[in-house]
Amino acid sequence: MKMGLALKSENRGNTMSTNIADFSEAFSQLGEHSKRHLPFIGLFRTHVHAGMLGMFPLIDDDKERLYSELMGEIIDTDKWKSILEEARAVGLLSHLEGMTYRFEKSSAPISEKWAELAGADRAAQFDREFVRFYAMWAGAMRAKLGENQPPTFRAVEIEADNLKRAIRISIEQEMLPEAEELLRLLRSFYSINSAADQWEMIRANVHGLIKGRKAIEENKFLDKVLARF
């Protein structure tokens, strides 16, 4: 199983400007409830899972407070499934499998919509909670990798770009325990799949991110988790 995971990209291509007009037209066709909540998926990249969206604000009080203050209500997985299905019907998403949907063309327009709704300060708060959410998920998934169950490997593969984003933010924000948890999952994943070349890509990108960040370089926290296998 091969899965590239460059950490310096946010899936923004040259087609972003042409996609925005299509996005705006499609978004205008949504019902008011979906218009209210759908921008939240702009926090994610490439794929979104209804269960993950429903779970996010329920993990702890900080996430619940942030989400309810901004969106007005917390919605469950079934309601998220309906919203994602409505977004699929107007061409904003495509259905991948189960409760997983894929962004059509680019996640950039919905990310811009999310940034506009949340504002810079609150978006930064959500980013930090996004990292904590995926670090917790990574810990749980790493424990399951040893069971050698295909759904576990598939879940990690699908969440690749979300993990990528969480790693980048965790290093930029010097959230070292979370960065370590995220990277341990990927190291285990690539090791089990004998994908040393993919892990080398991760190592190179992470070293590029921490270069010049003196606090992280002196901490040496990544030495062990970034070891080759």
Mean of all residue pLDDT scores within the chain = 88
Terminal C-alpha separation, the chain: 17
Q: Report the range of poorest mean pLDDT among 48-52, 57-61, 133-137, 211-215.
A: 211-215
Considering the domain architecture, whether residues 90 and 148 belong to the same structural domain is answered as no
Q: Which residue has the higher pLDDT, 174 or 5?
A: 174
Q: How far apart, in whole angstroms, are the C-alpha atoms of residue 224 and residue 125?
A: 29
In a domain, 219, yes or no: yes
Task: Note the pLDDT tens digit of each residue in 184-200.
Answer: 999 999 999 888 898 89
Q: pLDDT confidence of 1, banded at 50, 70, 90?
A: very low
pLDDT exceeds 90 at position 138 = yes
User: Do 169 and 154 fall within a single domain?
Assistant: yes
Q: Quick check: 55 and 118 in contact, CB under 8 A?
A: no
* Of the residues 118, 136, 158, the one at which a domain ends: 118
Give every CB contact of residue 177 below 8 A, 6+ residues apart in sequence: 135
**Residue-number span of the structural domain to which 91 is assigned:** 18-118
CB 69 within 8 A of CB 60: no
